Amino acid sequence: GIQVEQSPPDLILQEGANSTLRCNFSDSVNNLQWFHQNPWGQLINLFYIPSGTKQNGRLSATTVATERYSLLYISSSQTTDSGVYFCAVGSPETSGSRLTFGEGTQLTVNP
Amino acid sequence: DAGITQSPRYKITETGRQVTLMCHQTWSHSYMFWYRQDLGHGLRLIYYSAAADITDKGEVPDGYVVSRSKTENFPLTLESATRSQTSVYFCASSETSGISGANVLTFGAGSRLTVL
């Protein structure tokens, strides 16, 4: 099956700093989503982005499907951005409905 | 309440017991999923369902049984619980397949299961 690799595994920032999280995948995808898991365990969808670029406030994401990677940018980080960020992908072979998750990036934002 | 709800939120059971985790969604989403989350493994798909009475195995289905007699419910049963099934279980739903439209996954709050 498709492999998903996220980097870095851990990231510690000071409040106000910017960061870039990366997601590499091993095969063609027709579905790619980014999620944030807060310290209480809740999983929130951030972006549906199988290709192109999207922005939502301080967060933006870019997926270059032909080169098999996606980037999540966090600008002016806040302590509430702490948590685990997951990338998940779906491939055409499974109609894109079955998402395979990476192991996540643990982000800690210190005040 | 609108959304996707899981019950129970916390469960402690013993090896060999049968356990059922419930998942209910109010959006009439076609797709529903069960994932388990363990340290070092991220989220792994157990089973999913494309519609009522249609289910299929995911990455780690052994030891689990699912059913979907109604669109809104997707229970997960551990027929004989083992310690290796201690985990946090997440139910999720989405509206469409990934072929067209936005297959945005929405998660429940999770069910933490401990098998002693």
pLDDT bin (cut points 50, 70, 90) of residue B21 is: very high
Is the model's pLDDT at A97 over the cut of 80? no
Which residues numbered 21-50 in B keep a CB inside 8 Å of some CB on A? Answer: 31, 33, 35, 40-45, 48, 50
Question: Given CB atoms, is B52 within the 8 Å cutoff of chain A?
Answer: no
Closest residue in A to B33 (Cα) is A98
In tens, the pLDDT along A49-76 reads 999 999 999 999 999 999 999 999 999 9
pLDDT bin (cut points 50, 70, 90) of residue B97 is: low
Per the CB < 8 Å rule, is A101 touching B31?
no
- Range B36-44 contact pairs with CB under 8 angstroms and sequence separation of 24 or more: B36/B60, B36/B87, B36/B88, B36/B89, B36/B90, B37/B87, B37/B88, B37/B89, B37/B90, B37/B110, B38/B87, B38/B88, B40/A103, B41/A103, B42/A86, B42/A101, B42/A102, B42/A103, B42/A104, B43/A86, B43/A88, B43/A101, B43/B90, B44/A101
Is the model's pLDDT at A79 over the cut of 80? yes
CA distances from A61 to A11, A20, A32, B92, B101 (A): 18, 9, 11, 22, 19
| pLDDT value at residue B28 | 85
Which chain B positions have a beta carbon within 8 Å of A90's beta carbon?
98, 103
pLDDT bin (cut points 50, 70, 90) of residue B104 is: confident
Which chain A positions have a beta carbon within 8 Å of B94's beta carbon?
97
Mean pLDDT score of chain A: 94
| pLDDT value at residue B1 | 61
Is the model's pLDDT at A34 over the cut of 80? yes
| pLDDT value at residue B69 | 95
In tens, the pLDDT along B59-75 reads 999 999 999 999 999 99
Per the CB < 8 Å rule, is B107 touching A42?
yes
Is the model's pLDDT at B41 over the cut of 80? no
CA distances from A63 to A15, A86, B33 (A): 26, 14, 25
Alpha carbon distance B9, B61 (integer Å): 21
